[in-house]
């Protein structure tokens, strides 16, 4: 199934296109880039202004498709197609195109209000996350993946509940298909204590017990993955501890070729992708592309 990537007109950050090619190359797929232009209002008799606007949309759309194709052509080993559509809603237009071509992933870039290397959620991406029934992949701002780059390691955020066990099985299938290694990570955030240590050490005890439980759940996950054929060379475990989400994320090593997979909220009643509070914090602090799965 092709990888769909949204290309914003005249956007300097081409990280989403690079990431789409990297994902497609890893799984032997193709890339379909699409730009969304404003929709022309239907009128019984088009006036001069309407015709000018329609001509501008057509010309701009063709230019966007050409720009996307020119950059995708750098990745000459990945089959691609570039097109444009008009629509009143950018997220809905992307999802409609994804459904039409049977895309397995939708890739988007970050907003311009974050530093390079960070992930920024725009209003359009936020709507996409709330509306999509396929995984959404978000590239950090300024992301680069040159020709030949592949996904070499998949890190999955693991909570030990039924939802993330299902997520783990999905990641395992993808990792084996793409020959990427897998890292199972549980985030253990240790917030600032409410009481002085000399008054009570209960918070320390609770945190240590929670970390121990996380390690036991990870051991179960490791045993399950080894039963599927994973070895010590292709599987690692980690408990990321920190007093903040940023600190916990920084405690992990990150390499080129890494992606991080998080599940959407397990408490939300909708089946679509919906970020819970933990997933949203992981997303904001991730230094690598993030795949959000429903």
Same domain as 134, residue 178: no
Domain end (from 115, 138, 161): 138
Same domain as 161, residue 132: no
Q: What is the pLDDT of residues 5-25, one digit of tens each?
A: 999 876 788 999 999 999 999
Q: What is the pLDDT of residues 133-144, one digit of tens each?
A: 899 999 999 999
Domain end (from 107, 138, 169): 138
Q: Give the residue numbers spanning the domain of 124.
A: 3-138
pTM: 0.87
Same domain as 42, residue 124: yes
Does any domain span residue 143? no
Q: What is the pLDDT of residues 213-265, one digit of tens each?
A: 888 999 999 999 999 999 999 999 999 988 888 899 999 999 999 999 998 75
Output the pLDDT for position 195: 53
Output the pLDDT for position 273: 43
Does any domain span residue 11? yes
Query: Residue 95 above 90 pLDDT?
Result: yes
Domain end (from 138, 170, 192): 138
Q: Across the beta sheet with 290-293, what order do the strands follow? A: 80-87, 31-38, 3-6, 105-108, 136-138, 290-293, 258-263, 153-157, 181-189, 235-242
Query: Residue 110 above 90 pLDDT?
Result: yes
| Total of domains in the chain | 2
Same domain as 222, residue 132: no
Same domain as 167, residue 36: no
CATH number of the domain at 223, please: 3.40.50.620
């Amino acid at each position: 199934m092709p990888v769909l990537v949204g290309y914003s007109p005249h956007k300097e950050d081409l990280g989403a296109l690079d990431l789409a090619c990297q994902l497609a190359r890893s799984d032997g797929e193709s890339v379909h880039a699409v730009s969304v232009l404003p929709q022309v209002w239907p009128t019984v008799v088009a006036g001069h202004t309407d015709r000018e606007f329609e001509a501008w949309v057509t010309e701009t759309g063709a230019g966007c498709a050409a720009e996307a194709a020119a950059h995708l052509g750098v990745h000459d080993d990945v089959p691609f197609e570039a097109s444009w559509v008009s629509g009143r809603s950018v997220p809905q237009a992307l999802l409609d195109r994804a459904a039409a071509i049977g895309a397995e992933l939708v890739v988007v870039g970050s907003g311009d209000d974050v530093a390079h290397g960070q992930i920024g959620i725009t209003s359009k991406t936020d709507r996409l996350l709330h509306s999509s029934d396929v995984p959404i992949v978000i590239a950090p701002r300024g992301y680069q993946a040159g020709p030949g780059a592949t996904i070499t390691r998949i890190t999955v955020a693991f909570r030990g509940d039924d939802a993330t066990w299902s997520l783990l099985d999905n990641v395992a299938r993808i990792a084996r298909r793409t020959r990427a290694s897998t890292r199972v990570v549980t985030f253990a955030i240790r917030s600032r204590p409410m009481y002085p240590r000399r008054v009570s050490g209960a918070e320390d005890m609770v945190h240590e017990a929670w970390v121990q439980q996380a390690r036991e759940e990870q051991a179960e996950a490791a045993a399950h993955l080894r039963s599927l054929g994973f070895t010590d060379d292709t599987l690692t475990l980690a408990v990321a501890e920190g007093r903040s989400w940023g600190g916990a994320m920084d405690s992990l090593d990150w390499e080129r070729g890494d992606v991080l997979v998080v599940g959407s909220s397990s408490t939300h009643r909708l089946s679509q992708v919906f970020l819970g509070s933990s997933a949203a914090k992981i997303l904001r602090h991730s230094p690598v592309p993030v795949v959000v799965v429903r």
